[in-house]
Amino acid sequence: MKKMLASKINERVKLLKENLKDILIDANFSELERGVELLISCLKQYVEEFHEIPGHELEHTFRVLELSLFLGKVCNADLRVLIYASLLHDIGRFLKSKLDHAKLSADIARKLLKNHFPDEFINKVIVCIREHSYSEKKKPSSLESAILQDADRLDALGAIGIARVFSYGGYLGRPIYEMGRDIGEGGSVGHFYDKILKLHELMNTEIAKVIAKERTEFIKKFLERLKKEVKSEDVKQIMTHMHMP
């Protein structure tokens, strides 16, 4: 584990605490610090394998943590479970492995937590991690699991969701859109229609549904503007307005 990465994580936690100061109590902050220590210790253990995939970086983990705690506060969920489940939900993504990331993350989390917490608590955390994956299409079996699913999917929406789609698409070598096809077919733009625009229908909690709707509307407006620019409709409109030949 490079010292620079550990330092960046600790700096990010300072910002997280500031954002959550009206949400968490002292006991929650203590658990947050403990959870981050476990996360760092895990990354140290796997330092040779550690890598960040664009769109799924550590920053995604901390955004999901923050979203989970906001949702958890509103829904009166177990914030302690959400802290550890959120921090470790994607730990398997940082390792070069072909295994399902949710299962791998759950297995790693169990090893990390087994000497620190009772089995009952660990099992609650593990269930959340195993059930969070979109591709696995699992229905949440607890409130905390439902919230982690919502938080993970909310981070795929809105402005940050747009940035993530194009970041990950670039990493995969996807074009922005497929030349010669409808702009909604293929490429990174096609991913919005195949998956992202459907996420709002999969939210579990009422508060997440409200947030998802607003973020989805933002994406729709972005896609409308993108289509307009691809077809040069904005340029034509300006030229017409200026009475240019």
pLDDT value of position 47 = 62
Q: Which two tokens stand for residue 21?
A: 């100061």
Q: How many CA atoms lie within 13 A of 61 on its CB side?
A: 25
Q: How many CA atoms lie within 13 A of 242 on its CB side?
A: 8
pLDDT value of position 233 = 84
What residue type is 9 in one-letter code?
A: I
pLDDT value of position 102 = 85
pLDDT value of position 241 = 79
Angstrom distances, CA of residue 243 to CA of 98, 236, 238, 239: 58, 10, 9, 6
pLDDT value of position 59 = 93
Cα(64)–Cα(57) distance, integer angstroms: 11
Q: How many CA atoms lie within 13 A of 181 on its CB side?
A: 12
Cα(186)–Cα(166) distance, integer angstroms: 13
Let me know how long the chain is.
245
Domains recognised in the chain with CATH numbers? 1-136 (1.10.3210.10), 156-245 (1.20.58.1910)
pLDDT value of position 1 = 53
Residue-wise pLDDT tens for the chain (245 aa)? 556 677 888 888 899 989 998 888 888 889 999 999 888 888 877 766 777 889 999 999 999 999 999 999 999 999 999 999 999 999 988 876 666 788 899 999 999 999 899 999 999 999 999 999 877 788 999 999 999 999 999 999 999 999 999 999 999 999 999 887 787 788 999 999 999 999 999 999 999 999 999 999 999 999 999 999 988 888 888 888 776 65
pLDDT value of position 134 = 79
pLDDT value of position 145 = 97
Q: Record the pTM.
A: 0.91
pLDDT value of position 8 = 85
pLDDT value of position 48 = 67
